[in-house]
Structure 1
Amino acid sequence: MNAREYLEILHVAERLKDTPRHCTTTKRRTESVAEHSWRISLMAFLLKHEFEDVDINKVVDMCLIHDLGECFTGDIPTFIKTDSDREVEDSLLNRWVKTLPEELSGEIANLYKEMDAQETKEAKLYKSLDKLEALIQHNESPIDTWSENEYELNKTYAFDTVSFSEWLTDLRKAILEDTLDKIEKEGHG
């Protein structure tokens, strides 16, 4: 890959810095997709001693690239994203990935294939962290920024995704405790 190709990839990825997510930060600022991707990458890195049978570097790679399709479509919250939305995002992403230098294109395409199949421990860990980070961020954001359906989602979301791991199930339970405490303290219980 030459310097110009490298810069072009970075220019596309930079869009995620300006792509807002549904969540807000503790101080009420709308979170960007790039911030979400950074934190799930950090979450994966921090788990390298908890999941020694998992290729954490691969999980970090998955976390870093998982929302690149949103460079082209923006973020659509999971609870309103349709199959049609997913098809459009996947199509635009795949078209872009094919334009990348050959050594990257194949590697990224293979990562997406593995992530979509959800058969490996690495793919399952990435997907769990993706979902858990959203729950953690909701617990950190002011409760008046939550949409009505998020009270129930924060209680039920991702338990099925983390069920392959006792450690992640314990984390999900701890997140639920935080959710219930927040709802109760804010008078929404």
Structure 2
Amino acid sequence: MVNMKGRDKLTRIVDFLNECGMLRKTPRTGYQFLGSGSESVAEHSFRTAVIGHVLALMADADVARTTYMCLFHDLHEARTGDFNYVNQLYNSSERTTALKHACDGTGLEDAVLGYWDELEETETLEATLAQDADQLDFILNLKEESDQGNTYAGQWLESALKRVRTKWGRELAETIAKTDHKDWWFLGPDSEWWTHKNGKDDKKTS
């Protein structure tokens, strides 16, 4: 990254933001094996951050730190791409180096890399919650695919549930596993709405 050394701080921040945008174009690759479903790294990172925020509130942990760790946990994949487990048998990526290069010259180095180091060491409650949030986002996706008939997703779900570490994460995971993914919108309106949504009201006859 020698050619980036002469760029001023604000320009490097814009570079950083453009790099974050690359995550919207970077696919998560495990769905190739699952056979259904898809998402970008950006989509995954967003909901992981929301889940981390919720978990931190449940656990009375540092909400901001947990959320930040979730937000930046896959930023390096803008440069490395997402390696599924088969890829990892034959390839490795220098994740920390990629993240350092992304942050170099932005003034964000200490903060972002600090979150990264804490997450990698996973010795604090906040880091463990962030790791759980990462898994819970995947569990939510697997439940949705399972609800829609993908039997492999159900098998993956059983394994993913075992990876959740904290009691708060397990509580959420167990509830996800027994909740239909569409309930939040399908059960919302009065049941009559589904049969009268063509504009007829109770006073009119068909």
TM-score interval for Structure 1 and Structure 2 normalised by the shorter chain: 0.7 to 0.9
**Structure 2: 5+ residue stretches without partners:** 1-7, 181-206
Question: Which runs of 5 or more residues in structure 1 are unaligned?
Answer: 180-189
Partner of 1:170 in structure 2? 171
User: 2:45 touches 2:70 (CA, 8 Å); kept in 1?
Assistant: yes
Partner of 2:144: 140
Distance 1:47 1:131, change over 3 A: closer
- Specify whether residues 143 and 66 from structure 1 end up closer, same or farther in structure 2 by C-alpha distance, changes over 3 A only: farther
- Alignment partner for residue 69 of structure 2, among 62, 72, 78? 62
What is the aligned partner in structure 2 of residue 117 from structure 1? 121
Report matched runs for 1:146-185 at 5 Å: 148=152, 150-162=153-165, 165-178=166-179
2:57, 2:63 within 8 Å by CA — same for their partners in 1?
A: no
> Is the Cα–Cα contact under 8 Å of residues 23 and 75 in structure 2 kept in the other structure?
yes
Match for residue 100 of structure 1 among 82, 105, 119: 105
Change (3 A) 1:87 1:2: closer
> Which secondary structure state, in structure 1, belongs to the residue aligned with residue 58 of structure 2?
coil
- Structure 1 SS opposite 2:57: coil
8 A Cα contact 1:128 1:158, kept in partner: no
Distance 1:139 1:159 in 2: 14
Measured after TM superposition, the shift of residue 5 of structure 1 is 2.2
**Structure-2 change in CA distance of 1:173 and 1:50 (3 Å):** same
TM-score (norm 1): 0.75
Tell me how far 1:152 sits from its aligned partner: 2.6
Quote the Cα distance in structure 2 between the aligned partners of 1:124 and 1:69.
20
User: Compared with structure 1, are the counterparts of its residues 112 and 88 closer, same or farther at alpha carbon in structure 2 (3 Å cutoff)?
Assistant: same
Paired residues of 1:33 and 1:67 also in contact (CA < 8 A): yes
Report the residue type matching 2:49 in the other structure.
S
Return the index of the structure with the highest Cα Rg: 2
Partner of 2:195: none
* 1:116-172 residue CA offsets vs partner (Å, 9 max, x unmatched): 00100010000000011111012123444x7x4x4432102242432xx32222222
Q: Distance in 1 between matches of 2:123 and 2:102?
A: 25
Corresponding position of 1:8: 15
2:95 to 67, 89, 92: 89
Post-superposition offset of 1:2: 4.2
Q: Report which of the two has the higher share of strand.
A: 1
Instruction: For residue 127 of structure 2, give the secondary structure of its aligned residue in structure 1.
Output: helix
Note closer, same or farther for the CA distance 1:48–1:96 as it changes in structure 2 (3 Å cut): closer
Q: Could you state the TM-score of these two structures normalised by the residue count of structure 2?
A: 0.69
Give the paired residue count. Answer: 167
